[in-house]
Amino acid sequence: MTKRIVVLSLVICLAVTGVLFAQGASEAEEAKDLKLVLLVKSLGNGFFEAVADGGEEAAAELGNVESIYMGPSASTAEGQIDIIESLIAQRVDGIAISANDRDALIPVTKKAMNAGIKVISFDSGISVGGRIIDLAPSDEELIGRQQVQLIAELTGYKGKVGIVSATSQATNQNSWIEWMKQEIQKPEYADMELVDVVYGDDAADKSYREAVGLMQKYPDLAGIISPTTIGVLAAAKAIEDEGKKGIVQLTGLGLPSEMQYYVENGTCGQMALWNPIDLGYTSTFILEALVTGAVEGKEGDVIQVGRMGTVTVGKDGSSIMGTPFVFNAENIATYAAMF
Amino acid sequence: MHTNRTAAVKNILRKREVSLLVLIGVLLLAVTLRAPGFATGQNASRIINDTSILIMVSIGQFFVILAGGIDLSVGSIIAFSGMAASMLNQAQPGIPAFVVLLVGTVIGVLLGMLNGTLVAFGKVPAIITTLGTMSIFRGMTFVLSKGQWVTAHEMTQSYMNLPHGNFLGVSNLIWWGVLVSAVMLTLSSYTKSGREIYAIGGNRTAAKFVGVSEKKIQFMIFTISGLLSGLSGVMWTARYAAAVNETASGFELQTVAACVIGGVSIAGGSGAIPGVILGALFLGIINNALPVINLSPFYQMFIQGFIVLFAMLINTLSARHNEKMLLNRRRQ
């Protein structure tokens, strides 16, 4: 509670000094750096600290940008609204938000946009009308196709592959799996077969049992894909306990901090997840393009995003960053420290 | 007269366990027909290993149900004690694993005592108390962990070896299951306190009249349930090398199901540990068989529910049958 009060009073102080500073600056000289804010769900979360690192990286590349990292102490929409109010008063140039609520922020972000501030959302979006662009880390097709590519690289483009999913009704899981089925039809996977989809319900014990069951049902199983954090963790443990390390390959979507052990010891050769550094980096580039007027953020606009290539604005401002980032034994330690 | 009665009770129990054994045999046969290679020695030890935690927690649940209560908080106690032990192991890798195990178990005991105090001295019905503490303990798990997980690279090898290591070719986890079963069987069948639990569950008023302290018994059973859940929590997180906040959510229902399948009357007063062990094994076999028999997950849910209901039905019918037998005997 006291922590909250301290943070709140800090924010208020910041707002007040911000107002004073902004007035002083406009009198003395024209602002030289664009102030682009990354407003995250809450402070003290490794994932968002990494987003901030990406923002800094983009600012260094762009040169004319000051990247500011902010967030409430607890992940509430109210906390974010207070901060946006203060940012409006500070007259920052752009805000990229990972929203605690898709709808609750709309009034205040509209106010910000009316004040000439460019607002986009990333990671956790704001509904249409409350932002110019919403940047999703990836899309279902890219994720699904990449999972098959990753397991194929591990198994040498041959053998039987099974999927350990979350629940059988999970929409995101099911559409990823549909895209995996599409991808594996391609000629380069002619020697591969997607034999089964099982559901671990995102419970460690059930996922473990289902993974063991897969290996029992298909004694010549070559690989497991588990596009869910708990599933991939349980499958890794199951492969180890069954003594199938190196025989059954594993990939999936996993958090580096949780999977570091298995990625480093080779049970899970490589896995993917959207990279928060890339999210912060891309968001900052998009904001800069909007603020400088390089693009308006209309459907079909193509934005140059440094090392990430380009981002194309889709319908209703929704856009996609790209294929998830691949973690392997070489790079996982770095990312495990972040999220 | 008394020896007669116990002999009769034992007879019925024996029958129950025999029928369960037959049922398990049929189940194994059916699964093996669909998935050859299921009934192998290696797979048997895998299933017993997988079911040991369920056996231990179900025995705790058994005592509570036997006295006419229910403990819905076992899954949350598992999660909390498992998370606490894992975090201790992560923060202080130097502390020997068995000390961490002890700490996790003591945490389970304390949480169980809290349940026991509320039920025995606060006079809050067991189902309400544990419905509340189920959420409280789960919430505490989130608060303690701040939503973060503890995973393999943050645990010491000796911690993960608590269930995983083996002695005489049998995994430690199975040994723990055997030890807990033996101790608890002795407690329930050969001690005064154990018989008092049966007495309270069978006829509360009569038991009080002969001087059985209901408060003492209620406090004791929730403490035992907490103890076994705490122990299992450490085993669970070490076994899967992952302490997550959702650990064992919904597990309480599995333990109740194991008791019911094992012939424990949900109204209290009757049942025995061998039945509970078989009930848990029965569920364990289903849990391990469903992934290998190529059925859609929706059918799997259906089968699981159906089997529990079926066992419950058999229970009610046999209870009714026993009542009739008793009435007939009295008439004679």
Please tell me the predicted confidence (pLDDT) of residue A118: 94
Residue A141 and residue A148: Cα distance in Å, rounded? Answer: 11
Return residues 252-291 of A near B (CB < 8 Å). Answer: 257-262, 264
| CB proximity list for A14: less than 8 A, separation 6 or greater | A86, A90
The CA distance from B152 to A239, in Å, is: 14
Q: Give the model's pLDDT for residue A15.
A: 54
Question: How far does A178 lie from chain B, in Å, by closest CA?
Answer: 17
Q: Any bridge partners for residue A271, and if so which? A: A327
Which of B49, B166, B244 should one mutate to test binding to chain A, selecting the residue with the greatest count of A CBs within 10 A?
A: B244
Per-residue pLDDT tens over the stretch A99-123: 888 889 999 999 999 999 999 999 8
Asked if the model's pLDDT at residue B308 lies above 80, the reply is: no
Residues of A in contact with B241 (CB under 8 A): 237, 261
Please give the residue that has the higher pLDDT: either B197 or B2: B197
Q: Which residues of A47-67 are buried (b: 16+ CB within 10 A; e: fewer)?
A: bbbbbbbbbbbbbeebeebbb
Cα distance between residue A274 and residue A317, in whole Å: 20
Helix/strand/coil for B277: helix
Residue B247 contacts A where some CB pair is shorter than 8 Å: yes
| Helix, strand, coil tally for chain B in percent (to 5) | 80, 0, 20
Q: d(Cα B229, Cα B194) in Å, to the nearest integer?
A: 19
Amino acid identity at A156: G
- Confidence (pLDDT) at B266: 85
pLDDT at B301: 76
Q: Extract the tokens encoding A202.
A: 């995102």
CB A235 within 8 A of CB A224: yes
- Measured in degrees and rounded to the nearest 5, phi and psi for residue A268 equal -115, 100
For the stretch B304-313, contacts whose Cβ atoms lie closer than 8 Å and that sit 24 or more positions apart, written own/partner, are B307/B261, B307/B282, B308/B257, B308/B260, B308/B261, B311/B257, B311/B260, B311/B261, B311/B279, B311/B282, B312/B260, B312/B266
Angstrom distance (rounded) from CA B256 to CA B274: 15
Name beta bridge partners: A251. A225
Q: Is the pLDDT of residue B239 over 90?
A: yes
Task: Please indicate if any CB of chain B lies within 8 Å of the CB of A233.
Answer: yes
Q: Residue B153: its chain A contacts at CB < 8 A?
A: 260-261, 264, 336
Q: For chain B, which domains are there? A: 2-331 (1.10.3470)
Q: Does residue A123 sit at the B interface (CB-CB below 8 Å)?
A: no
Extract the tokens encoding B84. Answer: 């606490």
Q: Domains plus CATH for chain A?
A: 2-136+276-322 (3.40.50.2300), 140-273 (3.40.50.2300)
Of the pLDDT bands very low, low, confident and very high (cuts 50, 70, 90), residue B106 is: very high
Give A253's DSSP letter.
B
Q: CB neighbours (10 Å) of residue B149? A: 22
- Could you give phi then psi for residue B167, rounded to 5 degrees? -130, 125
**B240, B253, B302: best to mutate for the A interface, most A CBs within 10 A:** B240
Question: What's the CA gap between B226 and B217, in Å, rounded?
Answer: 14
pLDDT tens, position by position, B127-177? 999 999 999 999 999 889 887 888 888 898 889 989 988 888 889 999 999
Q: Do A237 and B240 touch (CB under 8 A)?
A: yes
State mean pLDDT over B110-119.
96
Helix (H) or strand (E) holding B46: helix B41-66
For residue A17, the SS3 value is: helix
Sequence-ordered alpha helix ranges (H) in chain A: 2-28, 46-62, 77-90, 106-114, 140-155, 171-183, 204-217, 229-241, 256-264, 276-291, 332-336
Contacts of A336 in chain B (CB under 8 A): 153
ipTM: 0.81
What residues pair up with A193 in beta bridges, in sequence order? A160
Strand, helix or coil at A70? strand
Name, in order, each residue with C-beta under 8 angstroms of B299's C-beta and a sequence gap of 6 or more.
Answer: none
CA-CA distance, B332 to B325, in Å (whole number)?
A: 11
Distances (CA, A) of B74 to B5, B7, B249, B315: 34, 33, 9, 24
> B111 vs A266, B93, B115, B226, CA distance in Å?
39, 25, 7, 6
- What Cα–Cα distance (Å) separates residue A175 from each residue in A166, A169, A179, A227, B84? 12, 11, 6, 11, 37
Compute the average pLDDT of residues B78-103.
93
Q: CA of B107 to nearest chain A CA: how many angstroms apart?
A: 22
The amino acid occupying position A124 is S
Q: What does the alpha-carbon distance between residue A300 and residue A107 come to, in Å, rounded to a whole number?
A: 26
- Number of other CB atoms surrounding residue B309 within 10 Å: 12
**Does the pLDDT at position B15 exceed 90?**
no
Inter-chain touch B151–A261, beta carbons under 8 Å: yes
- What would the two tokens of residue B96 be? 């020997």
Output b/e per residue, A292-308; b: 16+ Cβ within 10 A: eeebebeeebebebeeb
pLDDT digit string (tens) for B265-306? 888 888 899 999 999 999 899 888 888 887 777 787 788 788
Average pLDDT estimate for B47-57: 94
Residue with tokens 């203060």: A86
Counted residue by residue, chain A has a size of: 339
Three-state secondary-structure class, residue A192: strand
Cβ(B276)–Cβ(B189) below 8 Å: no
B204 in contact with A, Cβ within 8 Å? no
Cβ atoms of B73 and B252 within 8 Å: the answer is yes
Task: Tell which residue, A56, A36, A40, A60, has the closest CA to residue A48.
Answer: A40
Burial of B265 per CB tally in 10 Å (0-12, 13-18, 19+): buried
Query: What is the distance between the alpha carbons of residues B236 and B160, in angstroms, rounded to a whole number?
Result: 10
Per-residue pLDDT band for B40 (boundaries 50, 70, 90) equals confident
**Are residues A204 and B247, on separate chains, in Cβ contact within 8 Å?**
yes
Half-sphere exposure of A242 (CA within 13 A, CB side): 26
CA neighbor of A318 nearest in space, from A99, A136, A98, A123: A136
Q: Are A290 and A118 in contact (CB under 8 A)?
A: yes
* Residue B192, both tokens: 């005064």
Residue ranges of chain A whose pLDDT lies below 50: 18-30
Which A residues 37-76 touch B at CB under 8 Å?
Answer: none
> Which residues 6+ apart lie within 8 Å of A88 measured at CB?
A108, A111, A112, A115, A117
